[in-house]
Chain A
Protein backbone atom coordinates (compact mmCIF):
# COMPACT_ATOMS: atom_id res chain seq x y z
CA UNK A 1 0.00 0.00 0.00
CA UNK A 2 2.58 2.55 1.11
CA UNK A 3 5.02 1.37 -1.54
CA UNK A 4 2.47 2.01 -4.29
CA UNK A 5 1.65 5.36 -2.69
CA UNK A 6 5.34 6.19 -2.86
CA UNK A 7 5.46 5.25 -6.52
CA UNK A 8 2.50 7.53 -7.22
CA UNK A 9 4.26 10.38 -5.47
CA UNK A 10 7.32 9.90 -7.68
CA UNK A 11 5.15 9.94 -10.79
CA UNK A 12 3.52 13.14 -9.64
CA UNK A 13 6.87 14.79 -9.00
CA UNK A 14 8.43 13.64 -12.25
CA UNK A 15 7.31 16.47 -14.62
CA UNK A 16 8.82 19.13 -12.39
CA UNK A 17 11.92 16.99 -11.93
CA UNK A 18 12.34 16.73 -15.70
CA UNK A 19 11.88 20.48 -16.18
CA UNK A 20 14.44 21.23 -13.47
CA UNK A 21 16.87 18.67 -14.87
CA UNK A 22 16.59 20.07 -18.40
CA UNK A 23 16.66 23.77 -17.57
CA UNK A 24 18.64 24.00 -14.34
CA UNK A 25 20.84 21.00 -13.67
CA UNK A 26 21.92 20.33 -17.26
CA UNK A 27 23.01 23.95 -18.03
CA UNK A 28 24.96 24.12 -14.77
CA UNK A 29 26.74 20.88 -15.64
CA UNK A 30 27.53 22.25 -19.09
CA UNK A 31 28.92 25.44 -17.57
CA UNK A 32 30.98 23.33 -15.19
CA UNK A 33 32.38 21.30 -18.10
CA UNK A 34 33.06 24.31 -20.33
CA UNK A 35 34.92 26.03 -17.51
CA UNK A 36 37.70 23.47 -17.98
CA UNK A 37 37.91 23.96 -21.77
CA UNK A 38 40.54 25.87 -23.63
CA UNK A 39 39.85 28.69 -26.08
CA UNK A 40 41.48 31.06 -28.50
CA UNK A 41 40.14 34.20 -30.22
CA UNK A 42 37.75 32.39 -32.52
CA UNK A 43 37.08 28.87 -31.23
CA UNK A 44 36.42 26.73 -28.14
CA UNK A 45 38.74 23.76 -27.69
CA UNK A 46 37.42 20.82 -25.61
CA UNK A 47 40.10 20.10 -23.05
CA UNK A 48 40.66 19.63 -19.34
CA UNK A 49 42.83 22.48 -18.14
CA UNK A 50 42.86 24.55 -14.95
CA UNK A 51 44.16 27.71 -16.63
CA UNK A 52 40.80 29.46 -16.50
CA UNK A 53 40.57 28.99 -12.72
CA UNK A 54 44.25 29.70 -12.20
CA UNK A 55 43.96 33.02 -14.02
CA UNK A 56 40.64 33.88 -12.35
CA UNK A 57 41.77 33.16 -8.81
CA UNK A 58 45.07 35.01 -9.08
CA UNK A 59 44.01 38.06 -11.07
CA UNK A 60 43.77 41.37 -9.17
CA UNK A 61 40.84 42.25 -11.46
CA UNK A 62 38.82 39.42 -9.94
CA UNK A 63 39.64 40.55 -6.44
CA UNK A 64 38.59 44.11 -7.27
CA UNK A 65 35.35 42.86 -8.85
CA UNK A 66 34.52 40.72 -5.83
CA UNK A 67 35.28 43.59 -3.45
CA UNK A 68 32.98 45.82 -5.53
CA UNK A 69 30.26 43.17 -5.60
CA UNK A 70 30.37 42.60 -1.84
CA UNK A 71 30.34 46.32 -1.27
CA UNK A 72 27.27 46.74 -3.50
CA UNK A 73 25.61 43.78 -1.81
CA UNK A 74 26.29 45.15 1.66
CA UNK A 75 25.14 48.68 0.87
CA UNK A 76 22.03 47.48 -0.98
CA UNK A 77 21.26 45.09 1.90
CA UNK A 78 21.75 47.79 4.50
CA UNK A 79 19.52 50.38 2.83
CA UNK A 80 16.82 47.95 1.67
CA UNK A 81 16.71 46.57 5.22
CA UNK A 82 16.36 50.04 6.74
CA UNK A 83 13.64 51.02 4.27
CA UNK A 84 11.96 47.61 4.17
CA UNK A 85 11.77 47.27 7.94
CA UNK A 86 10.38 50.77 8.34
CA UNK A 87 7.75 50.33 5.63
CA UNK A 88 6.74 46.87 6.89
CA UNK A 89 6.54 48.18 10.47
CA UNK A 90 4.34 51.05 9.38
CA UNK A 91 2.06 48.79 7.33
CA UNK A 92 1.80 46.12 10.00
CA UNK A 93 1.44 48.20 13.15
CA UNK A 94 0.15 51.61 12.19
CA UNK A 95 -2.39 50.81 9.50
CA UNK A 96 -5.21 48.99 11.18
CA UNK A 97 -7.72 48.24 8.43
CA UNK A 98 -6.99 45.33 6.11
CA UNK A 99 -8.37 47.37 3.21
CA UNK A 100 -5.91 50.21 3.75
CA UNK A 101 -3.08 47.69 4.07
CA UNK A 102 -4.03 46.11 0.75
CA UNK A 103 -4.16 49.50 -0.97
CA UNK A 104 -0.75 50.48 0.43
CA UNK A 105 0.68 47.19 -0.76
CA UNK A 106 -0.70 47.73 -4.25
CA UNK A 107 0.90 51.17 -4.31
CA UNK A 108 4.21 49.55 -3.34
CA UNK A 109 3.95 47.13 -6.27
CA UNK A 110 3.06 49.77 -8.91
CA UNK A 111 6.73 50.21 -9.99
CA UNK A 112 6.78 46.48 -10.79
CA UNK A 113 4.31 47.07 -13.63
CA UNK A 114 7.31 48.08 -15.76
CA UNK A 115 10.55 46.19 -16.32
CA UNK A 116 13.69 46.57 -14.25
CA UNK A 117 15.50 48.22 -17.16
CA UNK A 118 12.84 50.85 -17.76
CA UNK A 119 12.82 51.66 -14.07
CA UNK A 120 16.58 52.13 -14.12
CA UNK A 121 16.62 54.18 -17.29
CA UNK A 122 14.01 56.51 -15.84
CA UNK A 123 16.59 57.60 -13.28
CA UNK A 124 18.79 59.03 -16.05
CA UNK A 125 16.80 62.20 -16.79
CA UNK A 126 16.59 62.76 -13.06
CA UNK A 127 20.22 62.24 -12.10
CA UNK A 128 22.10 63.24 -15.28
CA UNK A 129 24.53 66.12 -15.58
CA UNK A 130 21.72 68.34 -16.87
CA UNK A 131 19.06 66.33 -15.08
CA UNK A 132 16.26 67.43 -12.85
CA UNK A 133 18.21 67.18 -9.58
CA UNK A 134 21.24 69.09 -10.83
CA UNK A 135 19.24 71.82 -12.53
CA UNK A 136 17.03 72.32 -9.46
CA UNK A 137 20.04 72.53 -7.16
CA UNK A 138 21.80 74.91 -9.57
CA UNK A 139 18.85 77.22 -9.94
CA UNK A 140 18.27 77.18 -6.20
CA UNK A 141 21.86 78.34 -5.83
CA UNK A 142 22.84 75.44 -3.55
CA UNK A 143 25.62 74.31 -5.90
CA UNK A 144 27.42 76.12 -8.69
CA UNK A 145 28.81 73.03 -10.47
CA UNK A 146 26.58 70.08 -11.51
CA UNK A 147 27.09 67.10 -9.17
CA UNK A 148 28.80 64.39 -11.18
CA UNK A 149 28.52 61.54 -8.69
CA UNK A 150 24.75 61.29 -9.19
CA UNK A 151 24.83 59.21 -12.33
CA UNK A 152 27.29 56.61 -13.69
CA UNK A 153 28.76 56.03 -10.28
CA UNK A 154 28.64 53.59 -7.35
CA UNK A 155 26.06 55.90 -5.81
CA UNK A 156 23.77 55.45 -8.84
CA UNK A 157 24.20 51.66 -8.76
CA UNK A 158 23.31 51.38 -5.07
CA UNK A 159 20.41 53.79 -5.55
CA UNK A 160 19.02 51.61 -8.34
CA UNK A 161 19.45 48.44 -6.26
CA UNK A 162 17.60 49.99 -3.34
CA UNK A 163 14.85 51.18 -5.65
CA UNK A 164 14.54 47.80 -7.36
CA UNK A 165 14.77 45.50 -4.38
CA UNK A 166 13.27 47.25 -1.35
CA UNK A 167 9.96 45.49 -1.88
CA UNK A 168 11.70 42.13 -1.62
CA UNK A 169 12.59 43.16 1.90
CA UNK A 170 9.17 44.65 2.74
CA UNK A 171 7.11 41.57 1.91
CA UNK A 172 8.79 38.89 4.07
CA UNK A 173 9.28 41.28 6.99
CA UNK A 174 5.64 42.38 6.78
CA UNK A 175 4.64 38.74 6.65
CA UNK A 176 6.45 37.85 9.85
CA UNK A 177 5.29 41.03 11.58
CA UNK A 178 1.66 40.19 10.84
CA UNK A 179 2.16 36.96 12.75
CA UNK A 180 3.26 38.79 15.90
CA UNK A 181 0.46 38.60 18.43
CA UNK A 182 -0.54 42.18 19.21
CA UNK A 183 -0.99 41.32 22.87
CA UNK A 184 2.79 40.73 23.05
CA UNK A 185 3.28 44.42 22.33
CA UNK A 186 0.74 45.25 25.02
CA UNK A 187 2.44 42.87 27.44
CA UNK A 188 5.71 44.72 26.88
CA UNK A 189 4.01 48.08 27.36
CA UNK A 190 2.38 46.69 30.49
CA UNK A 191 5.85 45.88 31.81
CA UNK A 192 6.79 49.52 31.24
CA UNK A 193 8.55 49.32 27.87
CA UNK A 194 8.65 52.43 25.69
CA UNK A 195 8.29 52.34 21.91
CA UNK A 196 12.00 51.73 21.32
CA UNK A 197 12.16 48.93 23.89
CA UNK A 198 9.11 47.25 22.36
CA UNK A 199 10.86 47.38 18.99
CA UNK A 200 14.15 46.03 20.37
CA UNK A 201 12.75 43.33 22.65
CA UNK A 202 9.65 42.13 20.82
CA UNK A 203 9.28 43.22 17.22
CA UNK A 204 12.85 42.84 15.90
CA UNK A 205 13.46 39.40 17.46
CA UNK A 206 10.11 38.13 16.22
CA UNK A 207 10.63 39.56 12.69
CA UNK A 208 14.08 37.96 12.49
CA UNK A 209 13.02 35.22 10.07
CA UNK A 210 11.42 37.77 7.73
CA UNK A 211 14.55 39.92 7.87
CA UNK A 212 16.70 36.93 6.93
CA UNK A 213 14.43 35.79 4.10
CA UNK A 214 14.45 39.35 2.72
CA UNK A 215 18.24 39.50 3.09
CA UNK A 216 18.55 36.27 1.11
CA UNK A 217 16.47 37.76 -1.71
CA UNK A 218 18.40 41.00 -1.88
CA UNK A 219 21.85 39.44 -1.48
CA UNK A 220 21.35 36.84 -4.19
CA UNK A 221 19.80 39.36 -6.59
CA UNK A 222 22.64 41.84 -6.14
CA UNK A 223 25.39 39.21 -6.27
CA UNK A 224 24.17 37.90 -9.64
CA UNK A 225 23.35 41.25 -11.22
CA UNK A 226 25.16 42.91 -14.12
CA UNK A 227 22.48 44.99 -15.89
CA UNK A 228 22.19 47.57 -13.14
CA UNK A 229 25.95 48.03 -12.98
CA UNK A 230 26.08 48.32 -16.77
CA UNK A 231 23.33 50.94 -17.01
CA UNK A 232 23.86 52.90 -13.81
CA UNK A 233 27.63 52.40 -13.41
CA UNK A 234 28.33 53.72 -16.87
CA UNK A 235 31.21 51.29 -17.46
CA UNK A 236 33.33 52.83 -14.70
CA UNK A 237 32.78 50.22 -12.02
CA UNK A 238 32.65 46.48 -12.57
CA UNK A 239 31.26 43.71 -10.45
CA UNK A 240 31.52 39.96 -10.93
CA UNK A 241 28.48 39.88 -13.20
CA UNK A 242 30.00 42.56 -15.45
CA UNK A 243 33.27 40.61 -15.61
CA UNK A 244 31.44 37.52 -16.82
CA UNK A 245 29.39 39.61 -19.25
CA UNK A 246 32.52 41.16 -20.75
CA UNK A 247 34.14 37.75 -21.22
CA UNK A 248 31.04 36.49 -22.98
CA UNK A 249 31.03 39.46 -25.36
CA UNK A 250 34.66 38.59 -26.20
CA UNK A 251 33.58 34.98 -26.84
CA UNK A 252 35.79 33.77 -23.98
CA UNK A 253 33.17 31.28 -22.89
CA UNK A 254 35.42 29.01 -20.81
CA UNK A 255 36.71 31.98 -18.79
CA UNK A 256 33.14 33.22 -18.30
CA UNK A 257 32.05 29.72 -17.24
CA UNK A 258 34.81 29.55 -14.65
CA UNK A 259 33.76 32.96 -13.36
CA UNK A 260 30.16 31.76 -13.12
CA UNK A 261 31.13 28.59 -11.21
CA UNK A 262 33.14 30.58 -8.66
CA UNK A 263 30.32 33.11 -8.26
CA UNK A 264 27.78 30.32 -7.81
CA UNK A 265 29.96 28.74 -5.13
CA UNK A 266 30.32 32.08 -3.36
CA UNK A 267 26.57 32.76 -3.35
CA UNK A 268 25.82 29.20 -2.19
CA UNK A 269 28.19 29.66 0.74
CA UNK A 270 26.45 32.89 1.69
CA UNK A 271 23.10 31.12 1.49
CA UNK A 272 24.29 28.27 3.70
CA UNK A 273 25.25 30.80 6.35
CA UNK A 274 21.95 32.70 6.06
CA UNK A 275 19.81 29.55 6.08
CA UNK A 276 21.46 28.52 9.32
CA UNK A 277 19.87 31.55 10.95
CA UNK A 278 16.30 30.76 9.92
CA UNK A 279 13.98 27.79 9.81
CA UNK A 280 12.70 28.31 6.28
CA UNK A 281 10.02 25.62 6.57
CA UNK A 282 8.34 27.62 9.32
CA UNK A 283 8.00 30.56 6.97
CA UNK A 284 6.21 28.75 4.12
Chain B
Protein backbone atom coordinates (compact mmCIF):
# COMPACT_ATOMS: atom_id res chain seq x y z
CA UNK B 1 0.00 0.00 0.00
CA UNK B 2 3.02 2.26 -0.17
CA UNK B 3 2.97 5.21 -2.50
CA UNK B 4 5.54 6.60 -4.87
CA UNK B 5 5.89 10.35 -5.10
CA UNK B 6 7.01 12.31 -8.10
CA UNK B 7 7.61 16.04 -8.28
CA UNK B 8 7.66 17.62 -11.72
CA UNK B 9 9.11 21.11 -12.11
CA UNK B 10 7.57 21.96 -8.74
CA UNK B 11 7.77 25.70 -8.05
CA UNK B 12 6.63 27.91 -5.19
CA UNK B 13 6.92 31.69 -5.23
CA UNK B 14 5.87 34.15 -2.52
CA UNK B 15 5.45 37.76 -3.68
CA UNK B 16 8.03 37.34 -6.41
CA UNK B 17 10.46 35.46 -4.16
CA UNK B 18 11.08 31.92 -5.29
CA UNK B 19 11.14 29.48 -2.39
CA UNK B 20 11.23 26.33 -4.48
CA UNK B 21 12.52 26.60 -8.00
CA UNK B 22 11.33 23.98 -10.45
CA UNK B 23 12.50 20.84 -8.68
CA UNK B 24 12.19 17.35 -10.16
CA UNK B 25 12.30 14.36 -7.85
CA UNK B 26 11.15 10.76 -7.92
CA UNK B 27 10.72 8.98 -4.60
CA UNK B 28 10.18 5.23 -5.02
CA UNK B 29 7.40 3.56 -3.01
CA UNK B 30 8.33 2.21 0.37
CA UNK B 31 11.47 4.30 0.65
CA UNK B 32 12.64 6.57 3.43
CA UNK B 33 13.44 9.92 1.87
CA UNK B 34 15.14 12.74 3.76
CA UNK B 35 14.99 16.32 2.51
CA UNK B 36 18.13 17.89 3.87
CA UNK B 37 19.30 21.49 3.81
CA UNK B 38 19.92 24.64 5.80
CA UNK B 39 16.97 26.69 7.03
CA UNK B 40 15.29 28.63 4.26
CA UNK B 41 16.39 26.21 1.54
CA UNK B 42 12.81 25.29 0.60
CA UNK B 43 12.72 21.79 2.10
CA UNK B 44 9.80 22.49 4.44
CA UNK B 45 7.90 24.30 1.69
CA UNK B 46 8.41 21.30 -0.57
CA UNK B 47 7.07 18.97 2.12
CA UNK B 48 4.08 21.21 2.75
CA UNK B 49 3.30 21.29 -0.96
CA UNK B 50 3.38 17.48 -1.06
CA UNK B 51 1.09 17.47 1.99
CA UNK B 52 -1.32 19.90 0.35
CA UNK B 53 -0.96 22.62 2.98
CA UNK B 54 0.79 24.98 0.61
CA UNK B 55 -0.47 25.97 -2.83
CA UNK B 56 1.68 25.13 -5.82
CA UNK B 57 2.75 28.04 -8.02
CA UNK B 58 3.75 25.84 -10.91
CA UNK B 59 4.48 22.21 -11.66
CA UNK B 60 2.84 18.96 -10.58
CA UNK B 61 2.84 16.48 -7.72
CA UNK B 62 2.16 12.84 -8.61
CA UNK B 63 1.25 10.20 -6.08
CA UNK B 64 1.22 6.66 -7.43
CA UNK B 65 1.24 8.25 -10.87
CA UNK B 66 -1.96 10.22 -10.36
CA UNK B 67 -1.76 13.96 -10.38
CA UNK B 68 -2.83 15.24 -6.94
CA UNK B 69 -1.66 18.83 -7.28
CA UNK B 70 -5.14 20.26 -6.69
CA UNK B 71 -6.44 17.66 -4.23
CA UNK B 72 -6.99 18.16 -0.50
CA UNK B 73 -4.56 16.48 1.92
CA UNK B 74 -6.96 13.64 2.74
CA UNK B 75 -7.77 12.93 -0.89
CA UNK B 76 -4.07 12.59 -1.58
CA UNK B 77 -3.58 9.78 0.89
CA UNK B 78 -0.78 11.61 2.68
CA UNK B 79 -0.57 12.33 6.38
CA UNK B 80 1.64 14.87 8.00
CA UNK B 81 3.37 14.94 11.34
CA UNK B 82 4.01 18.52 12.36
CA UNK B 83 7.19 19.97 13.76
CA UNK B 84 5.64 20.81 17.16
CA UNK B 85 3.34 17.77 16.79
CA UNK B 86 0.20 20.00 16.70
CA UNK B 87 -1.77 17.75 19.04
CA UNK B 88 -5.20 19.09 19.95
CA UNK B 89 -4.69 20.32 23.52
CA UNK B 90 -8.35 19.91 24.49
CA UNK B 91 -8.63 16.27 23.43
CA UNK B 92 -7.32 13.14 25.13
CA UNK B 93 -4.62 11.17 23.35
CA UNK B 94 -7.19 8.61 22.23
CA UNK B 95 -9.40 11.31 20.74
CA UNK B 96 -6.40 12.97 19.12
CA UNK B 97 -5.46 9.73 17.41
CA UNK B 98 -9.07 8.97 16.47
CA UNK B 99 -9.73 12.41 15.00
CA UNK B 100 -9.18 11.41 11.38
CA UNK B 101 -11.69 8.58 11.78
CA UNK B 102 -14.19 10.92 13.43
CA UNK B 103 -14.01 13.11 10.33
CA UNK B 104 -14.35 9.98 8.20
CA UNK B 105 -17.67 9.38 9.99
CA UNK B 106 -16.84 6.30 12.07
CA UNK B 107 -18.82 5.64 15.23
CA UNK B 108 -17.25 6.40 18.58
CA UNK B 109 -16.77 2.73 19.55
CA UNK B 110 -15.26 1.88 16.18
CA UNK B 111 -12.81 4.74 16.08
CA UNK B 112 -11.77 4.32 19.70
CA UNK B 113 -10.98 0.67 19.04
CA UNK B 114 -8.86 1.62 16.03
CA UNK B 115 -7.15 4.36 18.04
CA UNK B 116 -6.33 1.93 20.84
CA UNK B 117 -4.75 -0.44 18.32
CA UNK B 118 -2.68 2.39 16.93
CA UNK B 119 -1.63 3.48 20.44
CA UNK B 120 -0.55 -0.11 21.02
CA UNK B 121 1.63 0.08 17.93
CA UNK B 122 3.49 3.11 19.29
CA UNK B 123 3.57 1.71 22.87
CA UNK B 124 1.37 4.45 24.30
CA UNK B 125 -1.67 2.43 25.43
CA UNK B 126 -1.29 3.36 29.08
CA UNK B 127 -1.47 7.09 28.22
CA UNK B 128 -4.66 6.95 26.12
CA UNK B 129 -6.76 9.03 28.50
CA UNK B 130 -4.21 11.73 29.22
CA UNK B 131 -4.15 15.17 27.67
CA UNK B 132 -1.16 15.97 25.43
CA UNK B 133 0.25 18.53 27.90
CA UNK B 134 0.66 15.75 30.47
CA UNK B 135 3.11 13.93 28.21
CA UNK B 136 6.81 14.36 27.55
CA UNK B 137 8.13 15.44 24.14
CA UNK B 138 8.92 11.90 23.06
CA UNK B 139 5.50 10.65 24.12
CA UNK B 140 3.77 13.50 22.31
CA UNK B 141 5.67 12.55 19.22
CA UNK B 142 4.42 8.97 19.39
CA UNK B 143 0.85 10.25 19.68
CA UNK B 144 1.41 12.53 16.69
CA UNK B 145 2.78 9.59 14.74
CA UNK B 146 -0.20 7.43 15.69
CA UNK B 147 -2.55 10.20 14.61
CA UNK B 148 -0.78 10.46 11.26
CA UNK B 149 -0.97 6.69 10.69
CA UNK B 150 -4.61 6.12 11.71
CA UNK B 151 -6.08 6.92 8.29
CA UNK B 152 -3.75 4.43 6.59
CA UNK B 153 -1.84 6.94 4.51
CA UNK B 154 0.40 5.81 1.67
CA UNK B 155 2.90 8.56 2.31
CA UNK B 156 3.84 9.92 5.73
CA UNK B 157 5.34 13.41 5.81
CA UNK B 158 7.44 14.41 8.78
CA UNK B 159 8.48 18.02 9.33
CA UNK B 160 11.63 18.06 11.47
CA UNK B 161 10.11 15.43 13.77
CA UNK B 162 13.14 15.02 16.01
CA UNK B 163 14.29 18.61 16.42
CA UNK B 164 12.34 19.20 19.66
CA UNK B 165 13.83 16.19 21.43
CA UNK B 166 16.99 15.97 23.49
CA UNK B 167 19.97 14.25 21.79
CA UNK B 168 19.58 10.91 23.54
CA UNK B 169 15.87 10.61 22.78
CA UNK B 170 16.49 11.82 19.25
CA UNK B 171 18.65 8.82 18.46
CA UNK B 172 16.16 6.44 20.04
CA UNK B 173 13.16 7.89 18.19
CA UNK B 174 15.17 7.89 14.98
CA UNK B 175 15.58 4.13 15.29
CA UNK B 176 11.89 3.68 16.03
CA UNK B 177 10.86 5.77 13.03
CA UNK B 178 13.03 3.71 10.72
CA UNK B 179 11.77 0.47 12.27
CA UNK B 180 8.14 1.53 11.88
CA UNK B 181 8.67 2.62 8.30
CA UNK B 182 10.24 -0.72 7.47
CA UNK B 183 7.52 -2.72 9.23
CA UNK B 184 4.61 -0.84 7.66
CA UNK B 185 6.31 -0.54 4.28
CA UNK B 186 5.16 3.05 3.88
CA UNK B 187 6.89 5.88 2.10
CA UNK B 188 8.29 8.35 4.61
CA UNK B 189 9.42 11.82 3.62
CA UNK B 190 11.33 13.45 6.42
CA UNK B 191 12.59 17.03 6.52
CA UNK B 192 15.69 17.71 8.56
CA UNK B 193 18.64 20.05 8.77
CA UNK B 194 20.83 17.44 10.39
CA UNK B 195 22.96 15.46 7.93
CA UNK B 196 23.61 12.91 10.65
CA UNK B 197 19.89 12.21 10.93
CA UNK B 198 19.45 12.06 7.17
CA UNK B 199 22.39 9.70 6.71
CA UNK B 200 21.18 7.40 9.46
CA UNK B 201 17.63 7.14 8.14
CA UNK B 202 17.46 7.74 4.44
CA UNK B 203 17.36 5.38 1.50
CA UNK B 204 17.20 8.54 -0.55
CA UNK B 205 18.73 11.76 0.72
CA UNK B 206 17.94 14.99 -1.09
CA UNK B 207 20.23 17.94 -0.39
CA UNK B 208 18.54 21.26 -1.11
CA UNK B 209 19.81 24.81 -1.20
CA UNK B 210 18.16 28.04 -2.35
CA UNK B 211 15.08 26.27 -3.62
CA UNK B 212 16.88 23.79 -5.84
CA UNK B 213 18.07 20.22 -5.38
CA UNK B 214 21.85 20.17 -5.19
CA UNK B 215 22.12 16.40 -5.09
CA UNK B 216 19.95 13.39 -4.43
CA UNK B 217 20.85 9.77 -3.94
CA UNK B 218 21.81 7.24 -1.34
CA UNK B 219 23.57 8.93 1.60
CA UNK B 220 26.74 6.90 1.01
CA UNK B 221 26.93 8.05 -2.58
CA UNK B 222 26.44 11.66 -1.48
CA UNK B 223 29.15 11.39 1.12
CA UNK B 224 31.59 9.71 -1.27
CA UNK B 225 31.03 12.10 -4.12
CA UNK B 226 29.37 15.38 -3.20
CA UNK B 227 28.14 17.00 -6.40
CA UNK B 228 28.92 20.61 -5.50
CA UNK B 229 31.01 22.63 -3.06
CA UNK B 230 27.77 23.44 -1.20
CA UNK B 231 26.98 19.77 -0.64
CA UNK B 232 30.56 19.07 0.44
CA UNK B 233 30.40 21.92 2.96
CA UNK B 234 26.93 21.09 4.19
CA UNK B 235 27.37 17.40 4.87
CA UNK B 236 30.65 18.15 6.65
CA UNK B 237 33.83 16.08 6.83
CA UNK B 238 35.01 17.43 3.49
CA UNK B 239 37.60 20.02 2.51
CA UNK B 240 36.72 22.10 -0.51
CA UNK B 241 39.93 23.40 -2.07
CA UNK B 242 40.53 25.85 -4.89
CA UNK B 243 43.75 25.25 -6.82
CA UNK B 244 45.88 28.19 -7.99
CA UNK B 245 49.33 28.64 -9.53
CA UNK B 246 51.28 28.27 -6.27
CA UNK B 247 49.38 25.56 -4.48
CA UNK B 248 47.64 22.46 -5.73
CA UNK B 249 48.80 23.14 -9.28
CA UNK B 250 48.02 19.56 -10.22
CA UNK B 251 44.24 20.12 -10.16
CA UNK B 252 42.26 21.96 -12.81
CA UNK B 253 39.37 23.29 -10.72
CA UNK B 254 37.80 23.21 -7.26
CA UNK B 255 37.61 19.79 -5.75
CA UNK B 256 36.81 18.20 -2.44
CA UNK B 257 38.74 15.72 -0.33
CA UNK B 258 37.43 13.93 2.74
CA UNK B 259 39.01 15.07 5.97
CA UNK B 260 39.65 11.47 7.00
CA UNK B 261 41.56 10.75 3.79
CA UNK B 262 44.28 13.29 4.52
CA UNK B 263 47.63 12.31 5.99
CA UNK B 264 50.15 14.56 7.69
CA UNK B 265 53.90 14.12 7.32
CA UNK B 266 56.98 16.18 8.13
CA UNK B 267 57.57 18.85 5.48
CA UNK B 268 60.61 17.18 3.81
CA UNK B 269 59.25 13.63 3.68
CA UNK B 270 59.26 11.89 0.31
CA UNK B 271 55.83 10.58 -0.65
CA UNK B 272 54.84 7.95 -3.22
CA UNK B 273 54.00 9.03 -6.76
CA UNK B 274 50.26 8.27 -6.36
CA UNK B 275 49.92 10.91 -3.64
CA UNK B 276 49.24 14.59 -4.04
CA UNK B 277 50.83 16.88 -1.48
CA UNK B 278 50.66 20.43 -0.30
CA UNK B 279 52.53 22.29 2.39
CA UNK B 280 50.64 23.80 5.29
CA UNK B 281 51.01 25.21 8.77
CA UNK B 282 49.12 23.56 11.59
CA UNK B 283 46.82 25.96 13.40
CA UNK B 284 45.28 23.79 16.03
CA UNK B 285 45.07 20.18 17.21
CA UNK B 286 42.01 19.01 19.10
CA UNK B 287 41.51 15.68 20.80
CA UNK B 288 38.07 14.27 19.94
CA UNK B 289 38.13 10.79 21.48
CA UNK B 290 38.04 8.59 18.36
CA UNK B 291 40.35 10.84 16.37
CA UNK B 292 42.31 14.05 16.41
CA UNK B 293 40.86 17.06 14.67
CA UNK B 294 43.70 18.96 13.04
CA UNK B 295 43.20 22.39 11.55
CA UNK B 296 45.84 23.59 9.09
CA UNK B 297 46.32 26.56 6.78
CA UNK B 298 47.78 26.46 3.27
CA UNK B 299 50.23 29.13 2.15
CA UNK B 300 47.49 30.95 0.24
CA UNK B 301 45.28 31.07 3.34
CA UNK B 302 42.81 28.24 2.61
CA UNK B 303 41.80 26.31 5.71
CA UNK B 304 42.03 22.53 5.72
CA UNK B 305 40.76 20.12 8.34
CA UNK B 306 41.99 16.56 8.90
CA UNK B 307 40.57 13.77 11.02
CA UNK B 308 43.64 11.84 12.12
CA UNK B 309 43.30 8.48 13.90
CA UNK B 310 45.19 8.46 17.17
CA UNK B 311 47.60 5.78 15.93
CA UNK B 312 48.75 7.96 13.03
CA UNK B 313 49.48 11.02 15.09
CA UNK B 314 53.17 11.77 15.35
CA UNK B 315 53.32 14.27 18.18
CA UNK B 316 56.66 15.65 16.97
CA UNK B 317 55.21 16.54 13.57
CA UNK B 318 51.59 17.37 14.36
CA UNK B 319 51.74 20.33 16.70
CA UNK B 320 50.54 23.91 16.39
CA UNK B 321 52.82 26.27 14.36
CA UNK B 322 54.57 23.30 12.70
CA UNK B 323 55.14 23.36 8.95
CA UNK B 324 54.02 20.02 7.50
CA UNK B 325 53.10 18.28 4.27
CA UNK B 326 49.47 17.28 3.81
CA UNK B 327 49.08 14.37 1.43
CA UNK B 328 46.32 12.27 -0.04
CA UNK B 329 45.79 9.58 -2.59
CA UNK B 330 44.98 11.17 -5.95
CA UNK B 331 42.21 8.63 -6.44
CA UNK B 332 40.43 9.97 -3.35
CA UNK B 333 39.93 13.41 -4.90
CA UNK B 334 36.31 14.28 -5.73
CA UNK B 335 36.04 16.64 -8.72
CA UNK B 336 32.77 18.54 -9.01
CA UNK B 337 30.90 17.82 -12.21
CA UNK B 338 30.26 21.41 -13.19
CA UNK B 339 33.07 23.78 -12.14
CA UNK B 340 31.70 26.75 -10.21
Q: Which residues of B contact A186 (CB under 8 A)?
A: 53, 80, 82, 86
| A183 and B83 in contact, given A189-B72, A201-B99, A206-B90 (Cβ under 8 angstroms) | yes
Interface residues on B, range: 20 to 34
Given contacts A197-B103, A201-B99, contact A190 B88 (CB under 8 A): no
Task: Assess whether B103 is in contact with A184, with CB atoms less than 8 Å apart.
Answer: no
The answer to whether A192 and B82 touch across the interface, beta carbons within 8 angstroms, is no
- The answer on a CB contact under 8 Å between A193 and B84 is no
Q: Mark A151-194, 1 if CB is under 8 A from B, else 0.
A: 00000000000000000000000000000010110111111110
Kindly identify which residue among A187, A192, A202, A205 contacts B72, using a CB–CB cutoff of 8 Å: A192
Complex interface bits, B81-96 against A, C-beta within 8 A gives 1, otherwise 0: 0111011111000000
A192 to chain B: which residues have CB within 8 Å? 72-74, 100, 103-104, 151
- In the assembled complex, the CB of B189 is this many whole angstroms from the nearest CB of chain A, namely 14
Question: Given A181-B84, A184-B86: A191 and B53 within 8 A (CB)?
Answer: no
Query: Which B residues, 62 to 118, have Cβ-Cβ distances below 8 Å to chain A?
Result: 72-74, 79-80, 82-84, 86-90, 99-100, 102-104
Q: Are B82 and A188 in contact (CB under 8 A)?
A: no
**B294 contacts the other chain (CB 8 A):** no
A33-78 contacts to B, CB under 8 A, are none
Interface residues in A206-242 by Cβ distance below 8 A to B read 206
Contact surface of B with A, Cβ cutoff 8 Å: 51-53, 72-74, 79-80, 82-84, 86-90, 99-100, 102-104, 147-148, 151
Given A187-B88, A189-B53, A201-B99, 17 more pairs with CB closer than 8 A: A184-B88, A186-B82, A186-B86, A187-B82, A187-B86, A187-B147, A189-B73, A190-B52, A190-B80, A191-B147, A192-B73, A192-B74, A192-B100, A192-B104, A193-B103, A201-B88, A205-B90
Query: 12 A-B contacts, Cβ less than 8 Å apart?
Result: A181-B84, A181-B86, A186-B80, A189-B73, A190-B80, A191-B99, A191-B100, A191-B151, A192-B73, A197-B103, A205-B90, A206-B90
